[in-house]
Amino acid sequence: GENVEQHPSTLSVQEGDSAVIKCTYSDSASNYFPWYKQELGKRPQLIIDIRSNVGEKKDQRIAVTLNKTAKHFSLHITETQPEDSAVYFCAASGGSNYKLTFGKGTLLTVNP
Protein backbone atom coordinates (compact mmCIF):
# COMPACT_ATOMS: atom_id res chain seq x y z
CA GLY A 1 0.00 0.00 0.00
CA GLU A 2 0.84 3.68 -0.07
CA ASN A 3 3.35 5.09 2.40
CA VAL A 4 3.72 8.83 3.01
CA GLU A 5 6.70 10.28 4.85
CA GLN A 6 6.53 13.87 6.12
CA HIS A 7 9.36 16.13 7.34
CA PRO A 8 10.05 17.90 9.57
CA SER A 9 7.89 16.83 12.48
CA THR A 10 8.24 20.26 14.08
CA LEU A 11 9.10 23.60 12.53
CA SER A 12 9.54 26.94 14.26
CA VAL A 13 9.84 30.17 12.27
CA GLN A 14 9.73 33.89 12.91
CA GLU A 15 6.73 35.84 11.73
CA GLY A 16 7.28 36.93 8.15
CA ASP A 17 9.64 34.09 7.30
CA SER A 18 8.81 31.27 4.89
CA ALA A 19 8.04 27.70 5.93
CA VAL A 20 8.49 24.57 3.85
CA ILE A 21 7.13 21.11 4.65
CA LYS A 22 8.11 18.14 2.52
CA CYS A 23 6.45 14.80 1.84
CA THR A 24 7.40 11.73 -0.13
CA TYR A 25 5.10 8.96 -1.31
CA SER A 26 5.71 5.43 -2.47
CA ASP A 27 2.88 4.53 -4.87
CA SER A 28 3.57 5.83 -8.36
CA ALA A 29 -0.17 5.43 -9.13
CA SER A 30 -1.07 8.17 -6.62
CA ASN A 31 -2.67 11.09 -8.38
CA TYR A 32 -4.10 13.40 -5.74
CA PHE A 33 -2.15 15.22 -3.01
CA PRO A 34 -4.03 17.36 -0.49
CA TRP A 35 -2.71 19.35 2.45
CA TYR A 36 -4.74 19.73 5.62
CA LYS A 37 -4.32 22.22 8.45
CA GLN A 38 -5.43 21.34 11.95
CA GLU A 39 -5.54 24.09 14.54
CA LEU A 40 -5.43 23.10 18.18
CA GLY A 41 -8.69 21.45 19.23
CA LYS A 42 -10.23 21.72 15.77
CA ARG A 43 -10.90 19.42 12.86
CA PRO A 44 -8.47 19.09 9.91
CA GLN A 45 -9.39 21.35 7.01
CA LEU A 46 -8.18 21.27 3.44
CA ILE A 47 -6.00 24.25 2.57
CA ILE A 48 -4.70 23.29 -0.86
CA ASP A 49 -4.43 20.26 -3.11
CA ILE A 50 -2.68 19.29 -6.31
CA ARG A 51 -3.26 16.61 -8.90
CA SER A 52 -0.60 14.63 -10.71
CA ASN A 53 -1.04 16.47 -14.01
CA VAL A 54 0.05 19.77 -12.40
CA GLY A 55 3.52 20.70 -11.14
CA GLU A 56 2.66 23.68 -8.97
CA LYS A 57 -0.37 25.40 -7.53
CA LYS A 58 -0.65 28.66 -5.60
CA ASP A 59 -3.30 30.23 -3.42
CA GLN A 60 -2.24 33.57 -1.97
CA ARG A 61 0.56 32.82 0.53
CA ILE A 62 0.35 29.06 0.10
CA ALA A 63 1.83 26.99 -2.70
CA VAL A 64 2.31 23.31 -3.33
CA THR A 65 4.83 21.75 -5.71
CA LEU A 66 4.85 18.19 -7.02
CA ASN A 67 7.73 16.21 -8.49
CA LYS A 68 6.24 12.99 -9.85
CA THR A 69 9.58 11.59 -10.92
CA ALA A 70 11.01 11.86 -7.45
CA LYS A 71 7.64 11.14 -5.82
CA HIS A 72 7.71 14.10 -3.51
CA PHE A 73 5.60 17.16 -2.92
CA SER A 74 6.02 20.20 -0.73
CA LEU A 75 3.98 22.90 0.98
CA HIS A 76 5.35 26.42 0.94
CA ILE A 77 3.97 29.17 3.17
CA THR A 78 5.32 32.65 2.62
CA GLU A 79 5.10 35.67 4.94
CA THR A 80 4.05 33.48 7.83
CA GLN A 81 1.69 34.85 10.47
CA PRO A 82 0.95 33.64 14.01
CA GLU A 83 -2.41 32.29 12.82
CA ASP A 84 -0.52 29.90 10.54
CA SER A 85 0.54 28.03 13.68
CA ALA A 86 -1.04 24.57 13.46
CA VAL A 87 -0.36 20.96 12.58
CA TYR A 88 -0.13 20.39 8.83
CA PHE A 89 -0.76 17.01 7.23
CA CYS A 90 0.10 15.94 3.72
CA ALA A 91 -1.71 13.03 2.12
CA ALA A 92 -1.72 10.98 -1.05
CA SER A 93 -4.51 9.18 -2.79
CA GLY A 94 -3.45 5.90 -4.34
CA GLY A 95 -4.81 3.95 -7.26
CA SER A 96 -7.97 2.94 -5.40
CA ASN A 97 -9.11 6.58 -5.46
CA TYR A 98 -11.09 5.98 -2.32
CA LYS A 99 -8.63 6.42 0.49
CA LEU A 100 -6.08 8.95 1.57
CA THR A 101 -2.85 7.99 3.26
CA PHE A 102 -1.64 10.74 5.58
CA GLY A 103 1.79 11.77 6.71
CA LYS A 104 2.41 12.00 10.44
CA GLY A 105 2.07 15.75 10.55
CA THR A 106 4.23 18.82 11.07
CA LEU A 107 3.70 21.15 14.02
CA LEU A 108 4.39 24.64 12.71
CA THR A 109 4.92 27.40 15.24
CA VAL A 110 5.14 30.99 14.04
CA ASN A 111 6.73 33.21 16.65
CA PRO A 112 5.63 36.87 16.73
* Residues engaged in binding another protein (CB under 8 A): 1, 6, 9, 31-32, 34, 42-46, 49, 51, 89, 93, 97-105
Closer CB to another protein, 9 or 111, in the complex: 9
Closer CB to another protein, 101 or 109, in the complex: 101
Closer CB to another protein, 36 or 80, in the complex: 36
Rounded to whole angstroms, how far apart are CA atoms 109 and 87? 9
Cβ neighbours of residue 38 closer than 8 Å, sequence gap 6 or more: 44, 45, 86, 87, 88, 89, 105
Q: What is the nearest approach in angstroms of another protein to the Cβ of residue 5?
A: 11
3-state helix, strand, coil in the chain (%, to 5): 5, 55, 40
Pairing mode of beta strands 72-77, 86-93 = unpaired
Rounded to whole angstroms, how far apart are CA atoms 4 and 18? 23
Rounded to whole angstroms, how far apart are CA atoms 11 and 22? 11
Q: What is the nearest approach in angstroms of another protein to the Cβ of residue 29?
A: 12
Q: What is the nearest approach in angstroms of another protein to the Cβ of residue 112?
A: 25
Q: What is the nearest approach in angstroms of another protein to the Cβ of residue 79?
A: 25
Closer CB to another protein, 43 or 70, in the complex: 43
